[in-house]
């Protein structure tokens, strides 16, 4: 009992000697001599009030308290209109002396990237201290912060795409020697202290006859000394079209360095490639514009006729039978609908499970067809596999649609490249001015690609459905 009395006395003393100050009196932009009379106050600032457009700016919110709070305050940041925002992590606490008084400082930093030129106003940040048994709710807000954004100077180099900051560039290939028609995986990693997350895919200066498929990009970041260091990885599947020595050209990233200030560029080195003749002797068709493959639409199955009942007079003895007939019909109808629904689910499940088998049968049948018809059948078989797997109409699917579906399912980029390559080779064979008669090799390659795809698809499905 004595401990409870001491606790109440201590709490009452704390509240009496640490009375809250009205919110309208607690909105300074920096500590001053008046802080001697303040138990709590807030401030906000930016580390660079005159940045260039796209340059990283650090917005700092600071909360000072010289009293013990009954509960953790709630922080509400501004909307940062006119900026691309990247949160810098959790709040951190330190001890600070302001005008001779000890404070507990809580600081939250946010990395911002201005997207507009001119004056941008960052609205006030708000912090809320919840009410207690002896005090009302307290709301504190900072002053608004003005940022004057400068435009980039003239003289941007060709290929400049808005990168602002300081960057490094690195390129890697999964291999430098490959058989003709097989894809290479190129990864380009951009790291730096600028607007890395906003960077768009750089242009690859490869020969126009090379086939290039862009995979998914990834972004990650770390924070060092309140500065965000970003890393963005671009990835492509590249298929050179001719055997023999080839060269992956230099890739250049042009950017504006606000520390100089000046435009600069960073480049990768050219990489020699050794493209071996295809082992199966099938030349890689010339890259042409992809054509949408029309698939045969299967006719709809006829719907069973609606149940009909003959209308005939009933004897009086059948009254109770007629009375029971509607519930019986309703029950029979419900059972019929449930059965049809179950059959429909089974049909969908069967269609998906047999997608690879059906695709193999269609692909094998292409070996006995004339070349043009065979290439069309190969393309239809691959796209038809996706229709069976997704249980939907896919005749209007383009290359980008197929790539999107596989990426959404989490399929490995190497498998994606193999499948897309087979589709394009089939379409190229259909529309090439001469016949490419060795269909068998393409059929085998397509079966191998779909088998790898189906295996990955099933494995991912098992992982996502596992308890």
**What string of pLDDT tens digits covers the 467 residues of the chain?**
444 343 333 333 333 333 333 333 333 344 443 443 478 899 999 999 999 999 999 999 999 998 877 777 888 889 899 998 876 667 788 998 988 889 999 999 999 999 899 999 999 999 998 877 767 788 899 999 999 999 999 999 988 989 999 999 999 999 988 888 888 899 999 999 989 988 888 888 888 888 888 888 899 988 887 788 999 999 998 988 888 898 889 999 999 999 999 999 999 999 999 888 876 555 444 333 332 333 344 444 454 444 444 444 445 555 566 666 677 667 767 776 666 666 666 677 778 888 888 888 889 898 888 887 888 898 889 988 998 888 888 777 777 788 888 888 888 888 888 888 888 888 777 665 445 446 888 888 899 889 989 988 888 766 655 55
> Which part of the chain is CATH 2.60.40?
19-149, 167-276
Q: CA 107 from chain center: how many Å?
A: 30
Integer Cα distance of 365 and 373 in angstroms: 11
> What tokens were used for 279?
């082992």
Share in percent of the chain as helix, strand, coil (round to 5): 35, 30, 40
What pTM was computed for the model?
0.55
Q: Specify whether the CB–CB gap between 41 and 26 falls below 8 A.
A: yes
Integer Cα distance of 159 and 202 in angstroms: 8
> What tokens were used for 220?
């990650």
Q: Using DSSP bridges, classify how beta strands 74-76 and 211-214 pair: parallel, antiparallel or unpaired.
A: unpaired
19-149 placed in CATH 2.60.40: yes
Q: Specify whether the CB–CB gap between 243 and 236 falls below 8 A.
A: no
Q: Specify whether the CB–CB gap between 282 and 442 falls below 8 A.
A: yes
In this structure, the number of other CB atoms found within 10 A of the CB of residue 308 comes to 6
Half-sphere exposure of residue 260, counting CA atoms within 13 Å on the CB side? 12
The pLDDT assigned to 3 comes to 41
> What tokens were used for 385?
């596999």
The pLDDT assigned to 320 comes to 60
> What tokens were used for 222?
């770390």
Q: Which residues, 6 or more positions from 94, have their beta carbon under 8 angstroms from its beta carbon?
A: 104, 105, 107
The pLDDT assigned to 20 comes to 38
Evaluate the CA torsion angle 352, 353, 355, 356 in order and state its sign: positive
Q: Specify whether the CB–CB gap between 164 and 67 falls below 8 A.
A: no
The pLDDT assigned to 466 comes to 53
Burial of 289 (0-12, 13-18, 19+ CB in 10 A): exposed
Pick the CATH number of 167-276 from 3.40.50, 1.10.3470, 2.60.40, 1.10.10: 2.60.40
> What tokens were used for 229?
């260091």
Three-point CA angle 166, 172, 177, nearest 5°: 155
In this structure, the number of other CB atoms found within 10 A of the CB of residue 138 comes to 18
Burial of 180 (0-12, 13-18, 19+ CB in 10 A): buried
């Amino acid at each position: 009992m004595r401990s409870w009395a001491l606790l109440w006395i201590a709490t009452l003393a704390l509240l009496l000697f640490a009375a809250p100050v009205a919110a309208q009196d607690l909105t300074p932009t920096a500590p001053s001599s008046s802080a001697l009379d303040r138990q709590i106050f807030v401030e906000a600032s930016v580390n660079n009030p005159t940045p260039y457009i796209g340059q990283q700016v650090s917005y700092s919110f600071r909360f000072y308290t010289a009293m013990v709070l009954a509960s953790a305050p709630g922080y509400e940041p501004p909307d940062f209109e006119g900026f691309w925002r990247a949160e810098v992590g959790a709040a951190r606490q330190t001890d600070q002396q302001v005008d001779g008084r000890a404070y507990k400082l809580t600081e939250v930093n946010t990395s911002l990237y201005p997207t507009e030129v001119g004056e941008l106003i960052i609205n006030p940040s708000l912090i809320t201290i919840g009410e207690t048994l002896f005090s009302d709710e307290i709301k504190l807000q900072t002053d608004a912060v003005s940022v004057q954004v400068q435009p980039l100077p003239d003289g941007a180099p060709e290929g400049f795409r808005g990168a602002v900051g300081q960057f490094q560039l690195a390129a890697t290939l999964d291999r430098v020697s490959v058989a003709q028609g097989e894809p290479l995986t190129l990864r380009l990693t951009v790291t730096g202290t600028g607007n890395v997350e906003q960077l768009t895919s750089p242009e690859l200066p490869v020969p126009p006859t090379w086939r290039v498929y862009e995979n998914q990009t990834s972004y990650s970041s770390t924070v060092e000394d309140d500065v965000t260091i970003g890393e963005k990885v671009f990835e492509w599947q590249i298929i050179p079209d001719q055997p023999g020595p080839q060269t992956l050209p230099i890739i250049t990233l042009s950017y504006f360095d606000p520390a100089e200030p000046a435009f600069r560029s960073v480049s990768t080195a050219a990489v020699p490639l050794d493209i071996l003749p295809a082992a199966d002797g099938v030349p890689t068709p010339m890259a042409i514009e992809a054509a949408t493959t029309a698939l045969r639409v299967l006719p709809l199955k006829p719907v069973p006729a609606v149940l009909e009942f003959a209308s005939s007079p009933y004897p009086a003895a059948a009254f109770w039978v007629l009375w029971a007939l509607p519930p019986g019909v309703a029950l029979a109808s419900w059972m019929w609908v449930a059965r049809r629904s179950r059959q429909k689910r089974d049909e969908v499940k069967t269609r998906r499970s047999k997608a690879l088998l059906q695709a193999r049968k269609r692909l094998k049948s292409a070996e006995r067809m004339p070349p043009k018809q065979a290439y069309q059948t190969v393309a239809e078989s691959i796209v038809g596999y996706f229709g069976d797997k997704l249980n939907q109409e896919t005749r209007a699917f383009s290359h980008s649609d197929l790539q999107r579906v596989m990426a959404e399912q989490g399929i490995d980029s190497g498998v994606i490249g193999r499948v897309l390559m087979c589709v394009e080779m089939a379409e190229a064979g259909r529309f090439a001015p001469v016949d490419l008669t060795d269909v068998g090799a393409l059929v085998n390659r397509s079966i191998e690609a779909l088998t790898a795809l189906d295996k990955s698809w099933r494995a991912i499905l098992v992982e996502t459905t596992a308890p």
